[in-house]
Each structure stands twice: as structure tokens, then as C-alpha cells.
Chain A
Amino acid sequence: MTVGDCSLTMPSKADTERLVDITELVQAYSGLLFRVAHSVLRSRTDAEDVVQDVFVRVLERRTMLDEVQQMRVWLVRIAWNLALDRRRRVRPEQMEDEFAAQLATKSVGPEQALAEARRMEAVLREIERLPRAERHALLLATVDELGTAEMAEVLGKSESGVRALIFRARKRLRERLGQRGEL
């Protein structure tokens, strides 16, 4: 099945139109939603599951699609909340190990990969220990497609509040990494 030949038939014409809308939404936003979910979960499989769940939710609420003002922010917020919900069920150390190892092998040679993976694990571990609001702002900021205004909408903060949270998160992260001396 491809995007083009996916025949999602619905009883009424209005429903069929909405379904076409969902297909378009999948094409337009899957990548963005994947990155949003991945920033929280650091697992490709889990992030993909979240994207699927987002569009299943959209399908369940298809009657209210016309009322949604900012589709992009609405979808990101669903993905963000689903990812946070799933995150509670994952052991953090398991998550960091896998992702840091993948990342390190991409960025440096095999000799340095182990040390680099440990450094990244330390950073990711400290990110998880940040206060929740700071952690959320910092992670959402890693999704390049999202501007500060959209991040503020998703997090329910003002734009200046989001900028302050990112600043404080980085500062605290730097201090804590320095105190621990793991790098």
C-alpha cells in the first residue's frame, strides 16, 4: 500500500473528504511529528508508534477537524503529549544507552566511539534530571521546524518564557555536568 493507492472508504461524502484530509496530513506532518516524539523518546520505533497513534486520534476526532485553528500546533501537541505519556513507561538508562551509542558511531570513528557515547549518555542523563519545564523546552527546541511561537503554544508558555527556560536549562546542564566531572 502506498500513500496514493490507500483507499480509505467512508460512508458519506463529507467523511471521505475528511479522510483525504487525513491522508494529506500524514504526508505533510509525519516527519515533523516523528522528530517531536523522538526528542522525548530517543527511540525510532517508539517515535513511529507515536506518529501512528497521533493519526488514529485524529481519525477518531475527524468530526472536529474543521474547528482546529492551527493544525500544525494541534498535531504537535498531540504527538508531544503521547510521547510524554509513553516516556513514563520507558527505563531512562535503557533509552540513553541505545541512542548515545547510535549517535556516537555516526559522529566519530570507532576508536573514539565508546568515549563519545559515554559523554553523550552523561549529557542525556543530566537532561533527564533537569526540572520538567526546562527539560521540555530544551528538548522541543531540538526540533528545528518549530519556532519559538509554536513551542510556546505547545508548552502553554509565553515566547519569552520559553526562551528563559531554554537559557536556564542550558546553564543548569553546564553547571551540573561540570560538578559531576564526567566529561
Chain B
Amino acid sequence: VRDDIRFDSREDDAIERTLTGLRQVEPPAGLEDRVLRAVHDKMEIAKDPVDSRRWPAWASWAGLGFAAATALLMVAIALHGHDGSKSEHQAVSAPATRLPDTTAVVNPPRNEFDGATSVRPAKHQVHQVVREAHPKHLASFLAPEPPLTDEEKILQRIARSGDQRPWAILNPETRARDEAASEAEFEQFEQGSK
């Protein structure tokens, strides 16, 4: 029992010293001035978000030029990508996606040497066929496992650590006794703090 008392007082001592250290923190000198300056700066920016004193005229023109060039470049890429994506899509997806025989019904194959124009299946038709070919795509994902209950967590802890003491918590009588003791201790704490 004496060891327990000594042990507890050592823990309490360390806790108290740490909390006292937190309690005694003093704000740095000049905090108010720096806070006011930050608020002031924020307000200046809010009042005049594009300040002409900070942005010279050449920078504005350079910015406009850059924006125009970027827009042109994006249009060019979009146009090029539109044409290119078709051939790329055909080249990549054709061997990877093995369409079942139903494709033949939807889009009969054309011989490239028969002089007829090659017709690709429409995108939605391909998707439909692929879904039919792979029914697992329609299945939703499994719901995640529910979290462990408190009792399961205790069992897990016992299994991992080999510590047998938590078994006592699973016993309703022991738990009720512990709770009553804890309640009494809290009431003592409450009376002490008043």
C-alpha cells in the first residue's frame, strides 16, 4: 500500500508540474501591436485587393498577355485533343476491351477492304456491352465493418498484451463495484474543489 501511495504521488507531482508550466505561460511582449498590425494589413488588402502601387503598369500588361496566350494554348490543345483522342481511344481500348458477341449484333464488323466506311459503335453502346460482359461492375462495394464494441476492444487488448487484468472489467459485479468506488472518489473530489 505504501508503494502505491508513493507511486501515485509521483504521478500527481509530474502532472501538477506540467500543468503549472502550462498555466504560467506569459504572452510575448508586443503581442497587441503585432496583432493590430496584422488586422490593419488585412483590412488594407480587403479595401484594395489589386493595389496599383504594388502592381506596376508593365506587370498588368504582362499579366493580360499571359492570360491571352494561355487561353489560345488551351483552345489549341482542346481542338487537337478532340481529334487525337478518337484515334487514341480506338488504339488503346480496342485490344483491351474484349467485347462479347453482342457487339456483332449492335455493330456488325466491317471489312476495311470492302470499300464501305468504317463505323465505330457509339460510346454508350460500348459501355452497355462492357457492363453486360462484366456484371461485377454493377455490384456495389461492401459496407465497411462496424467498429468494435467496448467489450470486443477489451478482449482484443487481452489477446494482444496477455494482460489478464482487463477480464475484471467484463465481470458486471466487479464493474459495478469499480463504478461505485469511482463515484465516491468523484464526490470526494467535488467536495474538495468547492
Contact residues of A with B, CB < 8 Å?
1-3, 6, 8, 22-23, 26-27, 30-31, 34-35, 38-39, 42, 44, 48, 51-52, 55-56, 59, 103, 106-107, 119-120, 122-124, 127, 138-139, 141-144, 163-164, 167-168, 170-171, 173-174, 177-178, 183
> B190 contacts which chain A residues (CB < 8 A)?
163, 167
In the assembled complex, how far is the CB of residue B180 from the closest CB belonging to chain A, in whole angstroms?
A: 15
In the assembled complex, how far is the CB of residue B43 from the closest CB belonging to chain A, in whole angstroms?
A: 6
CA distance A170 to B36 in the complex (A): 38
B: interface residue count bin: 35 or more
> A59 contacts which chain B residues (CB < 8 A)?
39, 42-43
CA distance A55 to B49 in the complex (A): 19
**Cβ contact within 8 Å between B27 and A26:** no
**Cβ contact within 8 Å between B31 and A8:** no
**Cβ contact within 8 Å between B32 and A27:** yes
B8 within 8 A of A: yes
Name B's interface SS: helix
Question: 18 A-B pairs, CB-CB below 8 angstroms?
Answer: A2-B33, A26-B36, A30-B27, A42-B22, A44-B25, A51-B35, A103-B18, A119-B17, A120-B17, A120-B18, A139-B22, A142-B22, A164-B186, A167-B190, A178-B7, A178-B8, A183-B11, A183-B14
**Cβ contact within 8 Å between A38 and B25:** yes
Interface residues of B in 16-54 (CB under 8 A from A): 17-19, 21-23, 25-28, 31-40, 42-43
B10 within 8 A of A: yes
Given A8-B43, A34-B31, A122-B14 contact (CB < 8 Å):
yes
**Cβ contact within 8 Å between A142 and B19:** yes
> A55 contacts which chain B residues (CB < 8 A)?
35-36, 38-39
In the assembled complex, how far is the CB of residue A47 from the closest CB belonging to chain B, in whole angstroms?
A: 8
> A35 contacts which chain B residues (CB < 8 A)?
25, 27
In the assembled complex, how far is the CB of residue A127 from the closest CB belonging to chain B, in whole angstroms?
A: 8
